[in-house]
Structure 1
Amino acid sequence: MTKMLNEYASKEILKQYGIPVGWYALAKSREEVAPILREQRDPVAMKIISDDIVHKTEAGGVKLNIRGAEEGEAAWDVLLANAKAYKPDAKVEGVLVQRMVPKGVEVIVGGLRDVQFGPVIMFGLGGIFVEIFKDVQFRMAPLTPKEALDLITSIKAFPMLTGARGQAPVNLEALAELIVSTSEFLSENQDVKEIDLNPVICFAGNVQALDASIGYDG
């Protein structure tokens, strides 16, 4: 049986492997929200953290564009109420406060441990490209930087990463580095059954995993 780690626990592990997860902090109580928000000039996202709630958006467990302590405390109240309404017996660890990033191109990086092939990495563009067009590709892990670049260029929607529709070109080297690090994490940890970085946002020459989950053999 696969045990899924929540976003906070997953990011705490992944950042040790050099996977860019951006700035975040965990507020374990309402009283901890204001001090965290006072240090932030940029807007933040706030997300419910619970091992019992996998789909945070479905549970009403995400609030965006929060500014300042007052908005943060109000968001805490809403998130906790939504979590209780969604799953009354859910054990809530706290609320993740995450600095928001500029708009960019969304991609998905994932991995699983296949019975036949072993550790496998998946890559594709986010949104309708994966949901409707199923435009994803797979490679056996671990990957070299060249293999990661080949994986990136193999999807049909690759032109979206090179500046199509007026978008700024994605830093392909940084994206390839994230894929390599993810593949190494999956390969080196035999008890990891799956990993999901969705979405990974590519913006202003950077890449960052906005959400993450790790599934262990539990």
Structure 2
Amino acid sequence: MHKIIKRVKAEKRSLLETEAKELLRGYKIPIPTFRLIKSEGEISGIRESIGYPLVMKIVSPDIVHKSDAGGVKVGVKDEEEARMAYQEIISKAIKYNKKAQICGVIAYKMIPQATEIIIGMMKDPHFGPVIMFGLGGIFVEVLKDISFRVLPIEERDAEEMITEIKGYGILKGVRGEAPKD
């Protein structure tokens, strides 16, 4: 884990999704099984190692908003679709930013009915390390419904961050849905 952080700091960039997932895994936070695919040939065997359906996303330090670049495919059902999705994601990413460094495509098991969240961290010039929480995906872009805390925090602070966002009702479960975990 320290190697990842050291490398990212040295390169003065944000974590890639694959790196963030490795850090979460290192802290025993459950995440879906994933694989970084660097060539179309690496797609074979996904059924055995991950399973279908998949979510596939471009991995590039130069493409932050993957959906805007056409770099996301959801509900990929089989190997043939995975190959087509891989080609399309790479092609659209290059078209979106010809100078982008493309690290590959991350593939992970799609979790039906999941609610995406975002957790971020930055070093504020005035406050120091700050953590952010909110609903993820398009919600963070459109609603900007996020909460912040200066680090370090305690468990009760994290719970407050979750309950104070406007989208907390979605996490609690609405209209008969079970609460999100």
Shorter-chain TM-score category?
Answer: 0.7 to 0.9
Identity of aligned residues (%): 43
Amino acid at match of 2:152: P
> Which residue number corresponds to residue 93 of structure 2?
83
* Contact 1:37–1:67 (Cα < 8 Å) also in 2: no
User: How far is the alpha carbon of 1:130 from its aligned partner?
Assistant: 4.6
Classify 1:78/1:170 alpha carbon distance in 2 versus 1 (closer, same or farther; 3 Å).
closer
> CA contact under 8 A between 1:46 and 1:75: conserved in structure 2?
yes
What TM-score does the superposition give when structure 2 sets the normalisation length?
A: 0.78
CA contact (8 A) 1:125 1:157 kept: yes
Q: CA–CA distance in 2 between the matches of 1:80 and 1:127?
A: 20
**Tell me, which stretches of 5 or more residues in structure 1 are unaligned?**
172-218
Larger strand percent = 1
Select the structure with the greater relative contact order (CA < 8 A; seq sep ≥ 6).
1
- C-alpha root-mean-square deviation of aligned residues, in Å? 2.5
Q: What is the aligned partner in structure 1 of residue 146 from structure 2?
A: 136
Q: TM-score, normalised by structure 1?
A: 0.67
1:53 aligns with 2:63: yes
**Cα distance change, pair 139–89 in 1 and its aligned pair in 2 (3 A):** closer
Q: 1:125 maps to what in 2?
A: 135
| 1:126 Cα deviation after fit | 4.3
Instruction: Give the conservation status (yes or no) of the 8 Å contact 2:13–2:61.
Output: no
Provide, for residues 149-173 of structure 1, a one-character-per-residue CA deviation record: whole Å limited to 9, x for no partner. Answer: 22222334433332333221233xx
The correspondence of residues 1-218 of structure 1 with structure 2, limited to 5 A, is 2-126=12-136, 130-131=140-141, 134-171=144-181
